[in-house]
Structure 1
Amino acid sequence: MPVPYSNSDFSLLIHSFCLQPCQPPTPPLILIRGLPGSGKSSLARDYVHHLHLEADQYFMQAGQGYQYDPIRLETAHQACILRTYWHLQVGGQVVISNTFSQGFELYPYFALARHFQCRVRLLETTGKWANIHQVPQTVIERMQERWLPLPEGDYSLPAHRNHKNKRR
């Protein structure tokens, strides 16, 4: 199934943001990226006042634990995006931990940040722990091969665009 965004779409969107240290009044949307077993979920849990979301939560089944189904992966990501939207809509603080190996995977979250006039804090984890979802090493190596390097930090809309805060 084709993805709705490309890396070039993400490149255009991210250029509407400024990578800079800033302290606007709204909390950032925190995006944590990294390969399986790098510590994404562990870092996200440190944000105790944020709702922690990740696509893998979609595959958690009551009484059965984690039941990954590659056919439902796109639906899992859409559910994560939708939950992020709902929480930002009511002024909530959100941290998302997903692999985000390519820019098109980050695009919807940067678009939400632009919509809600909030900054994005992009973090990358690089630890080497056992991955909790037993992702095969061959799959991790393929993810690593297509990894898009991105600078970590706070991304904000330029001041002239950030004049009206749409968050409630």
Structure 2
Amino acid sequence: MRYLNSYVQQITLLIFLICGSFSAVTMAQRVAVRTNLLEWATISPNIGAEFAIAPHWSIDFGISGNFGNPTSYKIDNVKVQPELRYWFGRPMARHFLGLTAFYSSYDACFKNKKRYGDAGAAGITYGYDFVLGKRWNLEATVGIGVLRYRQFGYAVEDPKPGNINERGWVLAPVKLGVTISYIIK
């Protein structure tokens, strides 16, 4: 029951983040729709939006998921990832530093070990946005931070434990991307 209550809190936070992102659209000077090509390479469809909110600031919000996998590994996950970015020039061009966070819920099976749980992370990012044309950009991003996970971990042939039996904190990559963007306005 405690796990369900935590899930409700996380969904509430997600709704708050989405509403906050859309309220920024009304003030945005530039809006871009984007997708991370590296996530597509891992068979994780994704979409994001970035809103310029001030002369050197933007907000990026992305969501991705993976339900089933044609490989021998089974991975189902959903991830939401907001990011606040400071641009050294104008937003959506050249160098930026960012603060990012993400929440992911997953169900994975690797080498006869099943993991079912969730993870949350926060960290810093660095990226460079290459302007390809008036409306198209290509971005490279990398980020590192701390990740907290809690999961049921068990062998495939064993029954699922009654309670979460694995949890911890790790230093981990929190963002890696090669992203193509289309600037709407």
Q: Which has the higher helix share?
A: 1
Give me the TM-score of the superposition, normalised by structure 1. 0.27
Q: Higher relative contact order at CA 8 Å, sep ≥6: structure 1 or structure 2?
A: 1
Q: Which has the larger radius of gyration?
A: 2
Q: Which has the higher strand share?
A: 2
